Each structure stands twice: as structure tokens, then as C-alpha cells.
């Protein structure tokens, strides 16, 4: 006796339709085509007297806000140098931990935006990038 796959196929079709209607879902390109390149979401790190602040630049705020809706507000995270040193000692670089807070997305979801890149505000030097770019 063959199993009845009609319910299973219906469920798969519904899930497929839901994914296709999600504006943040990006299907892998078909063979012979390239996915459109997007510049990464850009975060700015500003150093002040005894703290650093982490926020998105204006263009990135617009892009993320468009995806998340008008209720999303772009945060600025301020961390004292002492707290940042503690985090770095126990957990490594602090920026990867701030990405979901500052952007509203985890790193995987940011792939649809071209990734994420945090730069020093004063110098423009990249301090964190995901996915890492080949040198």
C-alpha cells in the first residue's frame, strides 16, 4: 500500500508560497544567473571619552526600516570601555553580539541585505564584517 502524500504535498506548497511572499527571503539563484549584489548594512562605531557607540548609518537605517516597518526604531548602543574589555575577555569581540540588537536581524537574515559591515567612524576602517569578504 502506497502512503498518501497529498497532505504532505499540500503543506509543502503552502510553505513555499509563504516563503515566496516574504520580502526578506532570497531564493538561491538558478544556474547561469547571478544574485544581485547589495552593499552591506553599514554600522558606525564612534569612540568618545570612555565609551564607544554603535549605530547604523542613515542609508542602512532606511533599508532596515523599510523591511521591518515603521515601528522599528534604530538603536544606538553605548558601551563603556571597561565593559567592552570585559566582554572581549570572556566572549571575544563585542560587535558580533551587537549586530542583532543594532540591526534588528541575526547575521543570517542580514545576508539578504548583502551582509553587515561595522566601520570606525573616524577612519572608515572595517572592524567587523559578515560574511567576511575575501581580501
Q: Is residue 63 part of a domain?
A: yes
Residue 52 and residue 46 in contact, taking contact as beta carbons nearer than 8 Å: yes
Nearest alpha carbon to residue 57 among 113, 115, 117: 117
The predicted-structure confidence for 72-129, as pLDDT tens digits, reads as follows 999 999 999 999 999 888 888 899 889 999 999 877 788 888 999 999 999 999 999 9
The pLDDT of residue 4: 53
The pLDDT of residue 32: 40
Q: Is residue 83 part of a domain?
A: yes
Q: Is residue 14 part of a domain?
A: no
Q: Is residue 50 part of a domain?
A: yes
Q: For residue 3, what are the CA distances in angstroms to 6, 8, 9, 10, 101?
A: 9, 10, 12, 14, 46
Q: Is residue 19 part of a domain?
A: no
Q: 46: domain range?
A: 39-130
Nearest alpha carbon to residue 14 among 6, 3, 23, 2: 6
Question: What is the total count of domains within the chain?
Answer: 1
Task: Find where cell 543594532 sits.
Answer: 102
51: three-class secondary structure by DSSP? strand
Amino acid at each position: 500500500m502506497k502512503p498518501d502524500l497529498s497532505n504532505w504535498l499540500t503543506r509543502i506548497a503552502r510553505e513555499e508560497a509563504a516563503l515566496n511572499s516574504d520580502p526578506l527571503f532570497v531564493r538561491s539563484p538558478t544556474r547561469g544567473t547571478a544574485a544581485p549584489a547589495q552593499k552591506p548594512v553599514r554600522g558606525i562605531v564612534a569612540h568618545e571619552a570612555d565609551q564607544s557607540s554603535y549605530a547604523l548609518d542613515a542609508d542602512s537605517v532606511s533599508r532596515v526600516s523599510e523591511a521591518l516597518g515603521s515601528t522599528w526604531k534604530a538603536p544606538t548602543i553605548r558601551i563603556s570601555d571597561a565593559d567592552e574589555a570585559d566582554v572581549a575577555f570572556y566572549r571575544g569581540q563585542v560587535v558580533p553580539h551587537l549586530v542583532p540588537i543594532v540591526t534588528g536581524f541575526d547575521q543570517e537574515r542580514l545576508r539578504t541585505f548583502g551582509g553587515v559591515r561595522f566601520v570606525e567612524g573616524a577612519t572608515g576602517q572595517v572592524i567587523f564584517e559578515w560574511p567576511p569578504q575575501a581580501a
